[in-house]
Amino acid sequence: MTKRMRFAVFGTGFWSNFQIPGWLESSEVELAALCDRSLSKAKAVGGKYGVERIYNDPATLLDNEELDFIDIITDVDNHRELCEMAAAKQLDVVCQKPLAPSLEDAREMIEVCTQQGVQLFVNENFRWQAPLRRVKELIVQGAIGPIFKGRVTFCSAFPVFDNQPFLRELDRFILTDVGSHVLDVCRFLFGEAETLFCLTRRVNPGIKGEDVANVLMHMKNGIHCYVEMSYASLLEREVFPNTLLLIEGENGSIQLAANNEIRITTRAGTRCETVALKHYDWADPEYALVHSSIVDTQRNILEGLKGGKAETTGRDNYETVKLVWAAYRSAEQGQLIQLDNFE
């Protein structure tokens, strides 16, 4: 058996409870150490996974451990510093989304990793959701002909702040939290954007940032893409954490509904497929769709770490980060943004 890749995790909050077991689905990696500002939190997570090497200082961990890569699962404000520290030690970096708190920080992280000759990957999991992969397959197979319009919807009233209370405090909330995912899904399904317009607003008085955003993009291939996201949507049916789609092509349409049901309509009629999700005992049933996609995301990143091809590299994800920040600029200035000139 080839040597397992040793990694350390920085940040043992909510998502570490799913990203760690996601990694451990592979026999090719070994979790060597954990680090968190709160030693007791890190010890509790270490206890669950049999990890004894626990730190509350990232520099000490990096000095003491023999590693191949690190996984950053901390708040976004720490991403750049931890990335730079690991890159200086010649370690590959896997980082939670959103990659960075600004476009400039994202650029710097990519630059530092390039200069140090290490790889940077982003643990962006939505594009790895099984129903979205199937929809992409149908598009590529030409099931509905050339596409002219896509509507991507993530609208919910799920109490997301219960598990991630810090989201309440973000000055910029839904575009960074959900936009990072669904704008990436748009790139995955429809290609790169040429122009973008965005409107935002805050409905929930108990949070700092915006909880509603509507983005309209003209993609380089001519597709019109409308993306709606909200955590203020009290709907008859709560579908969290599903992303719903309505894609229209010259020969038909594809609809992705809740329950991972795909309806393909052509002139011959409508057929229906339901995409089964792989079940993991460690997944939270309320997040099953997202948690099962973590395993596929990490499997793909592992390919990249081994020298193969991975989708969610830092450089690729930069294009998604750009869309998030272009959306804020558009909303602030009431202007259409040209993506090629945006920095």
Given a contact cutoff of 8 angstroms between Cβ atoms, the answer to whether 248 and 148 are in contact is yes
Please say which residue, 5 or 290, places its beta carbon nearer to ligand 89V.
290
Is 180 or 253 the residue whose CB approaches ligand 89V more closely?
Answer: 180
Nearer to ligand 89V, 135 or 185 (CB): 185
CB closer to ligand 89V, 118 vs 212: 212
Question: Cα(first)–Cα(last) distance of the chain, in Å?
Answer: 46
Residue 178 makes contact with ligand 89V by CB under 6 A: yes
AA letter at 282: W
Nearest to 54 by CA among 8, 102, 14: 8
**Contacts (CB under 6 A) with ligand 89V, residues 273-312:** 290
Q: Does 122 bind ligand 89V (CB under 6 A)?
A: no
Shortest distance in whole angstroms from residue 243 CB to ligand 89V:
9
CB of 21 to ligand 89V, least distance (A): 16
Count of positions (residues) in the chain: 343
Print burial letters for 110-140: b (CB count within 10 Å at least 16), e (below 16): bebbeebebbbbbbbbbbbbbbbebbeebbe
Check if the beta carbon of residue 135 is closer than 8 Å to that of residue 128: no
Whichever of 177 and 296 has its CB closer to ligand 89V, that residue is: 177
C-alpha to C-alpha distance for 167 and 76, rounded to whole angstroms: 11
Q: What six digits make up the tokens of 49?
A: 């996974």
Of 127 and 181, which has the nearer Cβ to ligand 89V? 181
Give the nearest distance from C-beta 297 to ligand 89V in angstroms: 11
Q: Give long-range contacts, CB 8 A cutoff, 24+ apart: 309-312.
A: 310/121, 311/127, 312/121, 312/122, 312/123, 312/124, 312/127
Nearest distance in Å: CB 315, ligand 89V: 21
**Binding-site member from 241, 249, 252, 304 for ligand 89V (CB under 6 A):** 241
**Shortest distance (Å) from residue 121 CB to ligand 89V:** 16
CA distances in angstroms from 193 to 35, 68, 245, 302, 310, listed in the order given: 38, 35, 18, 28, 21
> Rule CB under 6 A: is residue 164 a binding residue for ligand 89V?
yes
Taking phi first (over 0 means left), then psi (-120 to 50 degrees means alpha), and beta for anything else, what does residue 90 get? left
Neighbouring residues of 302: CB distance < 8 A, sequence distance ≥ 6: 5, 26, 28, 29
Q: Among residue numbers 39 through 98, which ones bind ligand 89V (CB under 6 A)?
A: none
Q: Would you say 241 or 252 has its CB closer to ligand 89V?
A: 241
Contact window for ligand 89V (CB under 6 A) among 143-151, 173-181, 263-271, 326-334: 173-181
Q: Is 179 in the site for ligand 89V (CB under 6 A)?
A: no
160 binds ligand 89V (CB under 6 A): yes
- Is 221 a binding residue for ligand 89V by CB under 6 A? The answer is no
Select from 62-70, 140-148, 176-184, 213-221 the region that touches ligand 89V (CB under 6 A). Answer: 176-184
Q: Shortest distance, CB of residue 6 to ligand 89V, whole angstroms?
A: 26
334 vs 320: CA distance, rounded Å: 20
Tell me the number of residues near ligand 89V by CB under 6 A: 7
Measured from the CB of residue 22, what is the shortest distance to ligand 89V in angstroms?
13
In the complex, least distance from residue 181 CB atom to ligand 89V, rounded to whole angstroms = 6
Question: Smallest distance from the beta carbon of 96 to ligand 89V, in angstroms?
Answer: 8
Asked if residue 177 binds ligand 89V (CB under 6 A), the reply is: yes
E-state strands within 183-251? 193-201, 212-219, 224-230, 244-249
Which residues contact ligand 89V by CB under 6 A? 160, 164, 177-178, 181, 241, 290
